[in-house]
Amino acid sequence: MLCKLLVPGLALMLVSLFGGCHQQDEPLAAAQIERQIVLGNMDSPVEVYVFTDWKCPACQALEPALEEMIPKILQKAQLIFVDVPIHQNSKSYTAINLSFLIHNKSEYVVLRHDLMGLAKKPEEPTAKAFELLAKSHDVQLLPLDKIDAYAGTVYFRQLILHFGIDRTPTIVVANKLNKQSKKFVGINEMDPNNILKAIDSLFKIDPR
């Protein structure tokens, strides 16, 4: 089962997450936030984009396999987690997720695990629940300022449109030097071996 994104409504949904904040040029905002939230091997030409929605059942089912892949991905490639706002109830998670990515990179993987666990619960999470989650890992949940919120919104929107993402979960493995990429849609395609083989094959491609 996949969660389908209605692309025409994407911009409105993303902006509604944080409100407008248009002081920055969009490409500049996106470039700034990318440097803040990317994980993994910063010298690698290969980038792995993970497009998920917190309330998407298929994304939740993918998470154990994704957690299995993450250590190897971090060694070989740059890893970028992209929130795709399909379900209205996912909005409250996106700001928390961005805050963790920006302020708590070294603990992000375990924070993400617990954040996904919280998302599986039917009730809407409270601010206290997010704070307790952070505290359980000895980190402080820092508020997301408007500039970072806007930049994250812009960056996620650009990636969703650039790679033609219309459903979750989707993983894109791309070589930033030659712009070649491979897309995996749905958990049936996302066997860890498939993703790691794609990383290796794109890493070896001559950028010329």
For 68-111, how does the pLDDT look when each residue is reduced to its tens digit (9 = 90+)? 999 999 999 999 999 998 888 888 899 999 999 999 999 999 99
Lowest-pLDDT range of 17-21, 23-27, 49-53? 17-21
pLDDT tens-place string over residues 121-178: 999 889 999 999 999 999 999 998 888 888 888 899 999 999 999 999 999 999 999 9
* CA 174 to chain CA mean position, Å: 15
Query: What's this model's pTM, rounded to 2 decimal places?
Result: 0.88
Look up residue 125 and give its amino acid: P
How big is the chain, counted in residues? 208
Task: Write down all domains in the chain, each with its CATH number in brackets.
Answer: 3-204 (3.40.30.10)
- Half-sphere CA count of 34, side-chain side, radius 13 A: 17
What is the number of other CB atoms lying within 10 angstroms of the CB of residue 53? 25
pLDDT of residue 1: 64
Phi, psi of 106 (to 5 degrees): -65, -25
Phi, psi of 27 (to 5 degrees): -60, -40
pLDDT of residue 206: 52
pLDDT of residue 137: 96
